[in-house]
Amino acid sequence: MLRSGFFLPTLKETPSEAQIASHRLMLRAGMVRQASAGIYSWLPLGFRVLKNIERIVREEQDAAGAQEMLMPTIQSADLWRESGRYDAYGPEMLRIRDRHERDMLYGPTNEEQITEIFRTSVRSYRDLPRMLYHVQWKFRDEVRPRFGVMRGREFLMKDAYSFDLDYDGAKRSYNKMFVAYLRTFERLGLKAIPMQADAGPIGGDMSHEFVILAETGESEVACHRDFIEMDWRGRDIDYTGDLQPLVDTFTSKYAATDERRDPEREKALGGDLVTARAIEVGHIFYFGTKYSKAMNAVVAGPNGEEIAVEMGSYGIGVSRLVGAIIEASHDDAGIIWPEAVAPFKAGLINLKVGDGDCDKACDALYAALRAGGISVLYDDREERAGIKFADMDLIGLPWQVVIGPRGLKNGIAEVKNRKTGERAEIPLENVPARLTA
Protein backbone atom coordinates (compact mmCIF):
# COMPACT_ATOMS: atom_id res chain seq x y z
CA MET A 1 0.00 0.00 0.00
CA LEU A 2 1.28 3.42 -0.89
CA ARG A 3 1.13 5.78 2.03
CA SER A 4 0.30 8.66 -0.30
CA GLY A 5 -2.92 7.00 -1.34
CA PHE A 6 -3.84 5.36 1.93
CA PHE A 7 -6.51 7.00 4.08
CA LEU A 8 -4.48 7.29 7.24
CA PRO A 9 -5.19 10.52 9.09
CA THR A 10 -2.62 10.48 11.88
CA LEU A 11 -2.72 13.11 14.60
CA LYS A 12 0.16 14.84 16.26
CA GLU A 13 -1.90 15.86 19.22
CA THR A 14 -4.31 13.78 21.19
CA PRO A 15 -8.01 14.57 21.14
CA SER A 16 -8.97 15.54 24.66
CA GLU A 17 -11.47 12.72 25.21
CA ALA A 18 -8.78 10.03 25.18
CA GLN A 19 -7.54 9.14 28.64
CA ILE A 20 -5.73 5.86 28.30
CA ALA A 21 -2.88 4.77 26.07
CA SER A 22 -4.76 2.51 23.70
CA HIS A 23 -7.51 5.03 23.08
CA ARG A 24 -5.03 7.83 22.56
CA LEU A 25 -2.91 5.77 20.20
CA MET A 26 -5.85 4.46 18.21
CA LEU A 27 -7.05 7.99 17.59
CA ARG A 28 -3.60 9.33 16.82
CA ALA A 29 -2.71 6.43 14.53
CA GLY A 30 -5.84 7.04 12.50
CA MET A 31 -7.41 3.70 13.38
CA VAL A 32 -10.77 4.88 14.66
CA ARG A 33 -12.88 7.98 15.03
CA GLN A 34 -15.53 8.42 17.63
CA ALA A 35 -19.03 8.76 16.22
CA SER A 36 -20.74 9.29 19.57
CA ALA A 37 -20.20 8.09 23.12
CA GLY A 38 -18.96 4.52 22.95
CA ILE A 39 -19.55 4.22 19.20
CA TYR A 40 -16.70 4.24 16.72
CA SER A 41 -16.00 4.25 13.03
CA TRP A 42 -13.13 2.03 11.99
CA LEU A 43 -10.79 3.67 9.53
CA PRO A 44 -8.76 1.55 7.10
CA LEU A 45 -5.79 0.96 9.39
CA GLY A 46 -7.90 -0.03 12.37
CA PHE A 47 -10.15 -2.10 10.18
CA ARG A 48 -7.20 -4.15 8.96
CA VAL A 49 -6.28 -4.99 12.54
CA LEU A 50 -9.86 -5.85 13.38
CA LYS A 51 -9.98 -8.18 10.38
CA ASN A 52 -6.72 -9.84 11.37
CA ILE A 53 -8.03 -10.56 14.84
CA GLU A 54 -11.27 -11.86 13.40
CA ARG A 55 -9.35 -14.16 11.08
CA ILE A 56 -7.41 -15.76 13.91
CA VAL A 57 -10.52 -16.10 16.03
CA ARG A 58 -12.30 -17.79 13.12
CA GLU A 59 -9.48 -20.18 12.38
CA GLU A 60 -9.40 -21.35 15.96
CA GLN A 61 -13.16 -21.64 16.24
CA ASP A 62 -13.25 -23.70 13.08
CA ALA A 63 -10.37 -25.87 14.35
CA ALA A 64 -12.33 -26.57 17.52
CA GLY A 65 -15.26 -27.78 15.45
CA ALA A 66 -17.54 -24.77 15.63
CA GLN A 67 -19.32 -23.65 12.47
CA GLU A 68 -19.67 -20.06 11.45
CA MET A 69 -23.00 -18.49 10.68
CA LEU A 70 -24.43 -15.00 10.96
CA MET A 71 -27.37 -13.81 13.00
CA PRO A 72 -28.95 -10.36 12.69
CA THR A 73 -28.29 -7.42 14.97
CA ILE A 74 -31.98 -6.57 15.34
CA GLN A 75 -34.04 -9.10 17.21
CA SER A 76 -37.67 -9.55 18.11
CA ALA A 77 -38.63 -8.78 21.69
CA ASP A 78 -40.92 -11.81 21.71
CA LEU A 79 -37.98 -14.21 21.83
CA TRP A 80 -36.63 -12.40 24.84
CA ARG A 81 -39.99 -12.52 26.53
CA GLU A 82 -39.86 -16.29 26.19
CA SER A 83 -36.61 -16.53 28.08
CA GLY A 84 -37.71 -13.93 30.57
CA ARG A 85 -34.81 -11.69 29.80
CA TYR A 86 -36.80 -8.94 28.11
CA ASP A 87 -37.73 -7.69 31.55
CA ALA A 88 -34.62 -8.90 33.30
CA TYR A 89 -32.11 -7.14 31.10
CA GLY A 90 -32.74 -3.56 32.11
CA PRO A 91 -31.86 -0.30 30.35
CA GLU A 92 -28.61 -1.69 28.99
CA MET A 93 -30.67 -3.19 26.23
CA LEU A 94 -31.47 -0.83 23.39
CA ARG A 95 -35.16 -1.21 22.68
CA ILE A 96 -36.62 -0.17 19.38
CA ARG A 97 -40.11 -0.05 17.96
CA ASP A 98 -40.67 -0.59 14.26
CA ARG A 99 -43.29 1.08 12.06
CA HIS A 100 -45.85 -1.54 12.98
CA GLU A 101 -45.31 -0.81 16.65
CA ARG A 102 -43.58 -4.14 17.16
CA ASP A 103 -41.08 -4.27 19.97
CA MET A 104 -37.61 -4.98 18.69
CA LEU A 105 -34.17 -4.70 20.19
CA TYR A 106 -30.59 -4.36 19.11
CA GLY A 107 -29.04 -7.60 20.33
CA PRO A 108 -26.71 -7.38 23.32
CA THR A 109 -26.13 -11.14 22.93
CA ASN A 110 -27.72 -14.00 21.06
CA GLU A 111 -28.71 -16.92 23.28
CA GLU A 112 -32.40 -16.54 22.51
CA GLN A 113 -31.87 -16.24 18.80
CA ILE A 114 -29.60 -19.24 18.47
CA THR A 115 -31.90 -21.29 20.68
CA GLU A 116 -34.82 -20.40 18.42
CA ILE A 117 -32.85 -21.50 15.37
CA PHE A 118 -31.77 -24.68 17.05
CA ARG A 119 -35.15 -25.74 18.34
CA THR A 120 -36.84 -25.41 14.98
CA SER A 121 -34.07 -27.27 13.18
CA VAL A 122 -32.82 -30.06 15.40
CA ARG A 123 -35.13 -32.76 16.63
CA SER A 124 -32.90 -35.73 17.43
CA TYR A 125 -30.08 -36.48 19.82
CA ARG A 126 -28.30 -37.95 16.81
CA ASP A 127 -27.68 -34.42 15.55
CA LEU A 128 -25.73 -33.53 18.67
CA PRO A 129 -23.31 -32.17 19.58
CA ARG A 130 -23.35 -28.87 17.72
CA MET A 131 -21.25 -25.75 18.08
CA LEU A 132 -22.21 -22.65 16.15
CA TYR A 133 -20.72 -19.18 16.21
CA HIS A 134 -20.87 -15.82 14.56
CA VAL A 135 -18.98 -12.58 14.63
CA GLN A 136 -21.43 -9.74 14.83
CA TRP A 137 -21.86 -6.26 16.22
CA LYS A 138 -23.59 -6.02 19.56
CA PHE A 139 -25.01 -3.07 21.40
CA ARG A 140 -25.20 -2.55 25.13
CA ASP A 141 -26.25 0.83 26.30
CA GLU A 142 -23.60 1.20 28.97
CA VAL A 143 -24.23 3.91 31.51
CA ARG A 144 -20.71 5.09 31.12
CA PRO A 145 -18.78 4.05 28.04
CA ARG A 146 -15.07 4.74 28.34
CA PHE A 147 -11.60 3.66 27.37
CA GLY A 148 -12.31 3.89 23.65
CA VAL A 149 -13.10 0.58 22.00
CA MET A 150 -12.39 -1.29 25.23
CA ARG A 151 -15.69 -0.36 26.68
CA GLY A 152 -17.82 0.83 23.85
CA ARG A 153 -21.56 0.59 23.58
CA GLU A 154 -21.36 -0.89 20.12
CA PHE A 155 -18.77 -3.62 19.88
CA LEU A 156 -17.81 -6.56 17.72
CA MET A 157 -18.04 -9.90 19.44
CA LYS A 158 -17.52 -13.49 18.48
CA ASP A 159 -20.12 -15.53 20.28
CA ALA A 160 -20.33 -19.29 20.06
CA TYR A 161 -23.01 -21.62 21.38
CA SER A 162 -22.83 -25.30 22.13
CA PHE A 163 -25.63 -27.85 22.26
CA ASP A 164 -25.19 -31.23 23.89
CA LEU A 165 -27.35 -34.06 25.10
CA ASP A 166 -25.98 -34.27 28.62
CA TYR A 167 -23.60 -32.75 31.10
CA ASP A 168 -20.61 -34.81 30.00
CA GLY A 169 -21.11 -33.70 26.43
CA ALA A 170 -21.52 -30.09 27.50
CA LYS A 171 -18.34 -30.36 29.50
CA ARG A 172 -16.50 -31.66 26.43
CA SER A 173 -17.76 -28.72 24.40
CA TYR A 174 -16.78 -26.35 27.18
CA ASN A 175 -13.29 -27.82 27.21
CA LYS A 176 -12.94 -27.46 23.46
CA MET A 177 -13.76 -23.80 23.68
CA PHE A 178 -11.52 -23.39 26.71
CA VAL A 179 -8.60 -24.76 24.74
CA ALA A 180 -9.54 -22.88 21.58
CA TYR A 181 -9.43 -19.69 23.64
CA LEU A 182 -5.98 -20.48 24.98
CA ARG A 183 -4.77 -20.97 21.44
CA THR A 184 -6.54 -17.91 20.07
CA PHE A 185 -5.10 -15.50 22.62
CA GLU A 186 -1.67 -17.02 22.35
CA ARG A 187 -1.73 -16.50 18.58
CA LEU A 188 -2.78 -12.91 19.15
CA GLY A 189 0.39 -12.40 21.13
CA LEU A 190 -1.41 -12.22 24.47
CA LYS A 191 -1.03 -14.07 27.71
CA ALA A 192 -4.66 -14.55 28.65
CA ILE A 193 -5.21 -16.19 32.02
CA PRO A 194 -8.37 -18.24 32.51
CA MET A 195 -10.00 -17.28 35.78
CA GLN A 196 -12.90 -18.56 37.79
CA ALA A 197 -15.70 -16.15 37.12
CA ASP A 198 -19.29 -15.39 37.89
CA ALA A 199 -21.80 -16.23 35.23
CA GLY A 200 -23.67 -12.96 35.68
CA PRO A 201 -27.09 -12.49 34.11
CA ILE A 202 -26.50 -15.36 31.71
CA GLY A 203 -26.73 -17.75 34.59
CA GLY A 204 -25.03 -21.07 35.01
CA ASP A 205 -22.50 -22.73 37.22
CA MET A 206 -19.30 -23.16 35.21
CA SER A 207 -17.64 -20.08 33.89
CA HIS A 208 -14.20 -18.76 33.13
CA GLU A 209 -13.09 -15.31 32.21
CA PHE A 210 -9.99 -14.95 30.08
CA VAL A 211 -8.16 -11.86 31.15
CA ILE A 212 -4.93 -10.15 30.27
CA LEU A 213 -3.08 -8.26 32.94
CA ALA A 214 -2.75 -4.54 32.34
CA GLU A 215 -2.59 -1.53 34.58
CA THR A 216 -5.57 0.02 32.88
CA GLY A 217 -7.70 -3.05 33.45
CA GLU A 218 -11.15 -2.47 34.84
CA SER A 219 -11.11 -5.06 37.57
CA GLU A 220 -8.80 -6.43 40.19
CA VAL A 221 -7.86 -10.09 39.86
CA ALA A 222 -5.66 -12.53 41.72
CA CYS A 223 -3.80 -15.62 40.61
CA HIS A 224 -0.95 -17.98 41.32
CA ARG A 225 2.35 -16.65 40.08
CA ASP A 226 2.83 -19.77 37.99
CA PHE A 227 0.39 -18.32 35.48
CA ILE A 228 2.74 -15.45 34.83
CA GLU A 229 5.64 -17.77 34.16
CA MET A 230 3.72 -20.47 32.34
CA ASP A 231 4.89 -21.12 28.82
CA TRP A 232 1.92 -20.29 26.67
CA ARG A 233 3.27 -21.15 23.26
CA GLY A 234 2.64 -23.75 20.64
CA ARG A 235 0.46 -26.47 22.09
CA ASP A 236 -0.62 -29.06 19.61
CA ILE A 237 -4.20 -29.87 20.22
CA ASP A 238 -6.15 -32.92 19.20
CA TYR A 239 -9.75 -31.85 19.55
CA THR A 240 -10.92 -35.43 19.15
CA GLY A 241 -8.95 -36.49 22.20
CA ASP A 242 -9.51 -35.89 25.90
CA LEU A 243 -8.87 -32.25 26.65
CA GLN A 244 -9.56 -32.54 30.36
CA PRO A 245 -5.91 -32.96 31.43
CA LEU A 246 -4.92 -29.78 29.61
CA VAL A 247 -7.88 -27.86 31.00
CA ASP A 248 -6.98 -29.15 34.44
CA THR A 249 -3.46 -27.76 34.24
CA PHE A 250 -4.95 -24.34 33.69
CA THR A 251 -7.72 -24.60 36.23
CA SER A 252 -6.08 -26.42 39.10
CA LYS A 253 -4.10 -23.39 40.19
CA TYR A 254 -5.80 -20.45 41.83
CA ALA A 255 -6.98 -17.66 39.55
CA ALA A 256 -10.07 -15.61 40.25
CA THR A 257 -11.76 -12.42 39.16
CA ASP A 258 -12.70 -9.97 41.87
CA GLU A 259 -16.17 -11.31 42.58
CA ARG A 260 -14.83 -14.85 42.93
CA ARG A 261 -11.80 -14.17 45.05
CA ASP A 262 -11.22 -16.36 48.06
CA PRO A 263 -9.32 -14.69 50.92
CA GLU A 264 -8.42 -17.99 52.53
CA ARG A 265 -6.90 -19.52 49.45
CA GLU A 266 -5.04 -16.31 48.79
CA LYS A 267 -3.64 -16.31 52.28
CA ALA A 268 -2.44 -19.88 51.79
CA LEU A 269 -0.62 -18.92 48.60
CA GLY A 270 1.50 -16.39 50.45
CA GLY A 271 4.30 -15.13 48.23
CA ASP A 272 2.98 -17.05 45.25
CA LEU A 273 -0.03 -14.76 45.02
CA VAL A 274 -0.14 -12.14 42.31
CA THR A 275 -2.78 -9.46 42.30
CA ALA A 276 -3.18 -7.17 39.33
CA ARG A 277 -5.65 -5.27 37.25
CA ALA A 278 -7.03 -7.08 34.26
CA ILE A 279 -8.90 -6.65 31.01
CA GLU A 280 -11.50 -9.25 30.20
CA VAL A 281 -11.07 -10.43 26.61
CA GLY A 282 -13.10 -13.63 26.67
CA HIS A 283 -15.76 -15.27 28.77
CA ILE A 284 -17.12 -18.79 28.56
CA PHE A 285 -20.20 -20.18 30.27
CA TYR A 286 -21.88 -23.47 30.79
CA PHE A 287 -25.48 -22.82 31.71
CA GLY A 288 -27.14 -26.17 31.24
CA THR A 289 -30.81 -26.05 30.37
CA LYS A 290 -31.56 -22.49 31.41
CA TYR A 291 -32.59 -21.42 27.92
CA SER A 292 -33.52 -24.78 26.44
CA LYS A 293 -36.12 -25.32 29.15
CA ALA A 294 -37.49 -21.81 29.02
CA MET A 295 -37.72 -21.89 25.24
CA ASN A 296 -38.50 -25.55 24.81
CA ALA A 297 -35.40 -26.53 22.87
CA VAL A 298 -35.68 -30.28 23.15
CA VAL A 299 -34.55 -33.27 21.14
CA ALA A 300 -35.75 -36.83 21.05
CA GLY A 301 -33.46 -39.09 23.04
CA PRO A 302 -32.49 -42.69 22.31
CA ASN A 303 -35.70 -43.92 23.88
CA GLY A 304 -37.89 -41.34 22.25
CA GLU A 305 -38.12 -39.18 25.34
CA GLU A 306 -37.85 -35.39 25.14
CA ILE A 307 -34.58 -34.06 26.46
CA ALA A 308 -33.81 -30.38 26.98
CA VAL A 309 -30.39 -29.70 25.50
CA GLU A 310 -27.40 -28.65 27.57
CA MET A 311 -25.99 -25.36 26.39
CA GLY A 312 -22.98 -23.17 26.76
CA SER A 313 -21.98 -19.84 25.31
CA TYR A 314 -18.56 -18.47 24.58
CA GLY A 315 -17.65 -14.88 23.83
CA ILE A 316 -14.57 -13.06 22.62
CA GLY A 317 -14.58 -9.28 22.46
CA VAL A 318 -13.06 -8.77 19.05
CA SER A 319 -13.14 -4.98 18.95
CA ARG A 320 -12.09 -4.79 22.60
CA LEU A 321 -9.07 -6.91 21.76
CA VAL A 322 -7.72 -4.20 19.49
CA GLY A 323 -7.50 -1.88 22.46
CA ALA A 324 -6.38 -4.61 24.82
CA ILE A 325 -3.49 -5.61 22.58
CA ILE A 326 -2.34 -2.02 22.44
CA GLU A 327 -2.59 -1.69 26.21
CA ALA A 328 -0.36 -4.72 26.47
CA SER A 329 2.04 -3.62 23.76
CA HIS A 330 3.08 -0.02 23.25
CA ASP A 331 5.73 2.49 24.25
CA ASP A 332 6.09 6.26 24.37
CA ALA A 333 6.42 6.49 20.61
CA GLY A 334 3.38 4.46 19.73
CA ILE A 335 1.88 1.05 19.16
CA ILE A 336 3.95 -2.11 18.91
CA TRP A 337 1.89 -4.66 17.00
CA PRO A 338 2.36 -8.38 17.49
CA GLU A 339 3.07 -9.70 14.00
CA ALA A 340 -0.06 -11.78 13.80
CA VAL A 341 -2.39 -8.79 13.95
CA ALA A 342 -0.22 -6.00 12.54
CA PRO A 343 -1.99 -4.03 9.80
CA PHE A 344 1.12 -4.40 7.67
CA LYS A 345 4.20 -6.44 8.33
CA ALA A 346 6.60 -3.71 7.32
CA GLY A 347 6.84 -0.01 6.66
CA LEU A 348 9.10 1.21 3.91
CA ILE A 349 10.47 4.70 4.23
CA ASN A 350 11.83 6.54 1.23
CA LEU A 351 14.01 9.26 2.69
CA LYS A 352 14.26 11.25 -0.49
CA VAL A 353 11.22 11.06 -2.67
CA GLY A 354 12.03 12.59 -6.05
CA ASP A 355 15.58 11.33 -6.09
CA GLY A 356 15.75 8.97 -9.05
CA ASP A 357 17.95 6.32 -7.47
CA CYS A 358 16.08 6.40 -4.19
CA ASP A 359 12.70 6.09 -5.85
CA LYS A 360 13.92 3.27 -8.05
CA ALA A 361 15.41 1.31 -5.15
CA CYS A 362 12.27 1.76 -3.06
CA ASP A 363 9.97 0.78 -5.88
CA ALA A 364 12.03 -2.34 -6.55
CA LEU A 365 12.12 -3.37 -2.90
CA TYR A 366 8.43 -2.64 -2.49
CA ALA A 367 7.68 -4.95 -5.41
CA ALA A 368 10.06 -7.63 -4.14
CA LEU A 369 8.55 -7.63 -0.66
CA ARG A 370 5.04 -7.88 -1.98
CA ALA A 371 6.06 -10.65 -4.35
CA GLY A 372 7.36 -12.45 -1.28
CA GLY A 373 3.97 -12.15 0.38
CA ILE A 374 4.99 -9.44 2.82
CA SER A 375 2.44 -6.69 3.32
CA VAL A 376 4.09 -3.30 3.16
CA LEU A 377 3.07 0.25 3.82
CA TYR A 378 5.36 2.31 1.59
CA ASP A 379 5.72 5.90 2.72
CA ASP A 380 6.25 7.61 -0.60
CA ARG A 381 5.15 11.05 0.57
CA GLU A 382 7.33 14.09 0.12
CA GLU A 383 7.56 14.63 3.84
CA ARG A 384 10.55 15.14 6.00
CA ALA A 385 12.24 12.09 7.40
CA GLY A 386 11.37 12.97 10.97
CA ILE A 387 7.67 12.97 10.25
CA LYS A 388 7.89 9.64 8.47
CA PHE A 389 9.79 8.02 11.31
CA ALA A 390 7.47 9.38 13.95
CA ASP A 391 4.47 8.24 11.95
CA MET A 392 5.86 4.76 11.50
CA ASP A 393 6.68 4.43 15.18
CA LEU A 394 3.17 5.56 16.03
CA ILE A 395 1.57 3.06 13.68
CA GLY A 396 3.81 0.38 15.12
CA LEU A 397 4.44 -2.02 12.23
CA PRO A 398 6.80 -4.83 13.23
CA TRP A 399 9.50 -3.80 10.76
CA GLN A 400 10.71 -0.54 9.32
CA VAL A 401 12.87 -0.50 6.22
CA VAL A 402 14.61 2.76 5.49
CA ILE A 403 16.19 3.67 2.19
CA GLY A 404 18.05 6.92 1.62
CA PRO A 405 20.74 8.27 -0.70
CA ARG A 406 23.50 7.79 1.85
CA GLY A 407 23.03 4.09 2.37
CA LEU A 408 22.10 3.53 -1.22
CA LYS A 409 25.63 4.43 -2.30
CA ASN A 410 26.71 1.18 -0.68
CA GLY A 411 23.58 -0.69 -1.65
CA ILE A 412 22.26 -0.96 1.86
CA ALA A 413 19.01 -0.32 3.65
CA GLU A 414 18.39 0.10 7.34
CA VAL A 415 16.07 -2.43 8.88
CA LYS A 416 14.60 -1.67 12.27
CA ASN A 417 12.60 -3.95 14.51
CA ARG A 418 9.89 -1.91 16.18
CA LYS A 419 9.70 -4.12 19.23
CA THR A 420 13.36 -4.49 20.09
CA GLY A 421 14.44 -1.19 18.59
CA GLU A 422 17.31 -3.09 16.99
CA ARG A 423 18.63 -1.55 13.79
CA ALA A 424 20.75 -3.27 11.17
CA GLU A 425 22.22 -2.03 7.92
CA ILE A 426 21.96 -4.78 5.40
CA PRO A 427 22.28 -5.14 1.61
CA LEU A 428 19.06 -4.32 -0.21
CA GLU A 429 18.76 -7.78 -1.69
CA ASN A 430 18.81 -9.36 1.76
CA VAL A 431 15.89 -7.37 3.10
CA PRO A 432 13.08 -9.76 2.12
CA ALA A 433 14.87 -12.70 3.70
CA ARG A 434 15.53 -10.70 6.82
CA LEU A 435 11.87 -9.88 7.31
CA THR A 436 10.76 -13.47 6.90
CA ALA A 437 13.51 -15.00 9.00
Interacting residues toward RNA by CB under 7 A: 10-17, 19, 28, 34, 36-38, 92, 109-111, 140, 142-147, 151, 157, 159, 198, 200-202, 218-219, 283, 285, 313, 315, 317, 333, 351-354, 382-387, 389-394, 400, 402, 404-408, 414, 416, 423
- Least distance to RNA, CB of residue 93, Å: 12
Tell me whether residue 52 or residue 110 sits nearer to RNA (CB atom). 110
Pick the closer one to RNA by CB: 264 or 382: 382
Instruction: Tell me how far, at minimum, the Cβ of 47 lies from RNA, in Å.
Output: 19
Looking at the Cβ atoms of 125 and 316, the one nearer to RNA is: 316
C-alpha distances out from residue 347 to 28, 149, 370, Å: 17, 25, 12
Closest CA to 200 of 115, 113, 123, 287: 287
Query: Is the Cβ of residue 56 or residue 351 nearer to RNA in the bound state?
Result: 351
- Tell me the closest approach of the beta carbon of residue 220 to RNA, in angstroms: 10
- Closer to RNA by Cβ: residue 200 or 372: 200
CA dist., res. 87 & res. 77, Å (int): 10
Comparing CB distances to RNA, the nearer of 125 and 397 is 397
Of 217 and 224, the one with the shorter C-beta distance to RNA is 217
The contacts of residue 166 (CB under 8 Å, 6+ apart) are 310
CB count in 10 Å sphere of residue 140: 20
Minimum CB separation of residue 386 from RNA in Å reads 2
- Closer to RNA at the Cβ: 144 or 267? 144
Q: How far is the CB of 128 from RNA (least distance, A)?
A: 19
CB of 277 to RNA, least distance (A): 11
DSSP collapsed to 3 states, the chain: CEHHHCCCCCCCCCCCCCCCHHHHHHHHCCCEEEEECCEEEECHHHHHHHHHHHHHHHHHHHHCCCEECCCCCEEEHHHHHHHCHHHHCHHHCEEEECCCCCEEEECCCCHHHHHHHHHHHCCEHHHCCEEEEEEEEEECCCCCCECHHHECCEEEEEEEEEEECCHHHHHHHHHHHHHHHHHHHHHCCCCCEEEECCCHHHCCCEEEEEEEECCCCCEEEEEECHHHHCCCCCCCCCCCCCCHHHHHHHHCCCEEEHHHCCHHHHHHHHHHEEEEEEEEEEEEEEEECHHHHHCCCEEECCCCCEEECEEEEEEEEHHHHHHHHHHHCEECCEECCCCCCCCCCEEEEECCCCCHHHHHHHHHHHHHHHHCCCCEEEECCCCCHHHHHHHHHHHCCCEEEEECHHHHCCCEEEEEECCCCCEEEEEHHHHHHHHHC
Q: How far is the CB of 245 from RNA (least distance, A)?
A: 27
Asked whether the beta carbons of 362 and 332 are under 8 A apart, the reply is: no
Nearest distance from residue 340's CB to RNA, in Å?
A: 23
- Residue 169 or 203 having the CB closest to RNA: 203
* Shortest CB 135 distance to RNA, Å: 12
Minimum Å gap between C-beta 392 and RNA is 7
State which residue, 52 or 257, has the beta carbon closest to RNA.
257
Q: Whole-angstrom Cα distance, residue 222 to residue 308?
A: 36
* Strand 334-335, strand 346-350: pairing: unpaired
In the complex, minimum distance from the CB of residue 146 to RNA, in angstroms, rounded to a whole number: 4
Question: Smaller CB distance to RNA: residue 18 or 255?
Answer: 18
